[in-house]
Each structure stands twice: as C-alpha cells, then as structure tokens.
Amino acid sequence: MLGSFAAGKTVIIHEHKRCCRSKQFNSDFPPALAGIIHPDEFFQSIDNINYARRRTFIEKIIESLPIIFVMLGLVLTIVGMVLLSIVSIPAGIVLLATGGALFGISTFAIVCVGIWTFTARFGRMKQAIAAESMKYASRQPVPTRWELDSVTVRSYASDDGPTSSTTFFLKIHIGAPTQPVHREDPLRSNWDIYEPVSYIP
C-alpha cells in the first residue's frame, strides 16, 4: 500500500521533442522494469500522461485569439500611420490609437493565456501521474510509485538578461518485492498475505 511503500531502485523517464510536436515523455520501455510492468501497459501509462499534458481544442482556440488580435492591431496601426503621413485626417488618428491599444492589450492577453494554459496542462499532468502511481503502488509482487520532478536551468548568455527553462521528468520508484507470509487466523485456518521482505538493489 502507499503507506508502507519502501523505495529501492529509481527509473528516470526523460522528456523528448520530435519535429514541431510539444514535449512528451519518452515511451521507450526501460529494461529495469522488465518483469515488473508489462511493456504494453507501460506504454499505455506513458500515453495517458502525455495525452493529459496536451493542449485541448478549447485551449488552442483561446491561445489563437490574442494572436489574431495582435496582428489586427498591428495592421490598424500601420494603416493609421500611412494615412497620417499622407494627409492628417481624423480617421488616421483613430486607426492609429485603436491599433496601438489593440496591439498592447492583445500582447498582454497572450502572456496571461500562456500562463493559464500552462497551469491547466500542468495540473492535468500531475493528476494523470497520480492516477498511474495509484494503479501500480499496490501491484504485487513488486509495487512501483510514480512521481513528477523537474529541473530549471538558468542561462545568462542573452543580452536581454537571464533566461530559464524547466525540464520535467518522471521518477518511477521500484518498491520492495513481496512474498506470501503464512499466518494463522481463528476464522480461517490457512491464509497468506504479502509483505515486503527486502529492498531491490
């Protein structure tokens, strides 16, 4: 059970990115899990986690709307500047002001939407990992516990100041193997339970 889990060896599952797809956890089966988790079952678990961290259709639409308004604001600003350069008319001033305001507000909205979608995807990913961990935590004879970890790297190479990037990875802790232990019970003459007997090196 979760309360009596004794961690032994730990398997690390890293992120990878292929072409223009978003980052996903590597679904290659680790040899250390051979005999503990079936490869097909492991692939399905990783696929469930990767699916949870993907952007939903609604999130894609919400992310695209501020970008469209930014482009519209930029176009209005350019048109307003052109009109003002040709002849000073009220329409040019209105277009310039409207385009500038729309551009600024939409740029701020892009940042807010990005934070919102990241938080939503991160929450879904954590829930998916917790669900997979719960499934394997009581698995006999060798339980495993899954958890999310991350590493943040700061870079000072840019002239604009330090930048940071966060990389996520999965930790699969392999628990102690169990074996049946014979016990006497007044209600049942013979019954066996599983208890941890040693750590896996």
Query: Can you give the pLDDT at residue 178?
Result: 56
Q: Which amino acid is at 11?
A: V
Buried b (16+ CB within 10 A) or exposed e, 61-87: eebeebeebbeebeebbeebeebeeee
Query: In whole angstroms, what is the distance from residue 73 CA to residue 79 CA?
Result: 10
Task: Decide if pLDDT at 88 tops 60.
Answer: yes
Task: Decide if pLDDT at 196 tops 70.
Answer: no
Task: Decide if pLDDT at 184 tops 60.
Answer: no
Chain-centroid distance of CA 10 in Å reads 20
The pLDDT confidence band at residue 176, using thresholds 50, 70 and 90, is: low
**CB–CB of 26/43 below 8 Å?**
no
Q: Give the tens place of pLDDT for each residue, 95-147.
A: 888 899 999 999 999 999 999 999 999 999 999 999 999 999 888 888 999 99
Q: Judge residue 175's burial from the number of C-beta atoms within 10 Å of its C-beta, 0-12 exposed, 13-18 middle, 19 or more buried.
A: buried
Q: Where are the domains of the chain?
A: 2-196
Structure tokens at 8: 């032994």
Task: Decide if pLDDT at 186 tops 60.
Answer: no
DSSP annotation of 11 reads E
> What would the mean pLDDT of 1-30 be, rounded to a whole number?
74
Q: Judge residue 135's burial from the number of C-beta atoms within 10 Å of its C-beta, 0-12 exposed, 13-18 middle, 19 or more buried.
A: middle
Query: Can you give the pLDDT at residue 18?
Result: 65
Query: Can you give the pLDDT at residue 141?
Result: 84
Query: In whole angstroms, what is the distance from residue 97 CA to residue 75 CA?
Result: 12
Structure tokens at 155: 């870079």
Q: Which amino acid is at 129?
A: I
Query: Can you give the pLDDT at residue 42?
Result: 95
